[in-house]
Amino acid sequence: MTTTSIAPAPPTAPTSPPRRRSTGRWFAENGWRHLVGVVFVVYAVFPIVYILSASLSEGGTLTGSNQLFDTISTANYAGLADTAFWSWVVNSVQVAVATAVGTVLMGAAAAYAFSRFRFTGRRAGLTTLLIIQMFPQMLAFVAIFLLLISLGEVVPALGLNSKVALICVYLGGALGVNTFLMYGFFNTIPRELDEAAKIDGATHAQTYWTIILRLVTPILAVVALLSIIATFGEFVIARVLLQSESNWTLAVGLYSWVSSLLEANWGLFAAGAVISTVPILALFLFLQKYIVGGLTAGSVKG
């Protein structure tokens, strides 16, 4: 009977613990990024904290809020009920939602046409939309004002001091960048889906409404969000077109409280500004899952 002997394993050299990076090296590689992030967070948060402190101050002035949260009172928020603030909120929501719906419908239709059809002037049309968007809409507020004066004599609903007219003006600048965003996203949708729907007997309208729009939901949500943000806080054109207090939007109404230096009520202004951020913040959080995909997917295939 033979026995086999197993040779003992050679001793392993003791492993030395990993050396810790020096503080200077860590800061040079990663630490400076944390520092920059903290600086930008403080820079962005401080105005919010300051306006929140001003809204809770009874003094009604911004200078009384230099000591943050020195006094805390809800008097300014309660005082909003005695003003036209909530009617301004309703006006702003109506204008913003109507403009967003119109922007999405117009932009999606234009992007679908540019993406799926080949026609004379297609590239020139895209270039023209891009060039027009280089000029801000507020540059034409004098021409818009004169146009609505003349148009109001024929169709009063489209004249000055009309929310419908304001929505139409906003929709006049709805194309351009929004079309380009949607155009890039539409190009990521395979054309084979259109061909399969055509073989099944679907028309272009049926393909567009029942198939394509469901697949491009992320970019529709992004465009709607951008449109609401832009119109909800727009001031210049709304101030020129809306003349009566009952039709003012939120930006115009809040400005009226601080437009006179001798009678400025910064407490009400701060409280209204804080409340006005709630709808946009809630909408942003609700649509957050679409934002990254909607903004980046269009850059994959142009």
For residues 42 and 140, membership in a common domain is answered with no
Q: Which pLDDT value is given to residue 299?
A: 45
Is the pLDDT assigned to residue 200 strictly greater than 80?
Answer: yes
How far CA 25 is from CA of 17, 28, 32, in Å, comes to: 18, 5, 10
For residues 51 and 121, membership in a common domain is answered with no
Lowest mean pLDDT, pick from 33-42, 120-129, 223-232, 290-299: 290-299
Q: At what angle do helices 85-116 and 266-286 cross, to 10 degrees?
A: 30
For residues 171 and 55, membership in a common domain is answered with no
CATH code of the domain containing 145: 1.10.3720.10
pLDDT level of residue 21 (50, 70, 90 thresholds): low
- Whole domain around residue 89: which residue ranges? 83-299
For residues 93 and 60, membership in a common domain is answered with no
pLDDT in tens, 44-62: 888 888 888 888 887 666 6
How far CA 146 is from CA of 141, 142, 247, in Å, comes to: 9, 6, 19
For residues 37 and 99, membership in a common domain is answered with no
Q: What is the pTM of this model?
A: 0.80
Structure tokens at 102: 């119109």
pLDDT in tens, 241-280: 998 888 999 999 999 888 877 677 888 898 999 999 998 8
Is the pLDDT assigned to residue 41 strictly greater than 50?
Answer: yes
Q: Which of 73, 92, 125 is the last residue of a domain?
A: 73
pLDDT level of residue 142 (50, 70, 90 thresholds): confident
In the predicted model, what is the mean pLDDT of residues 77-103?
92
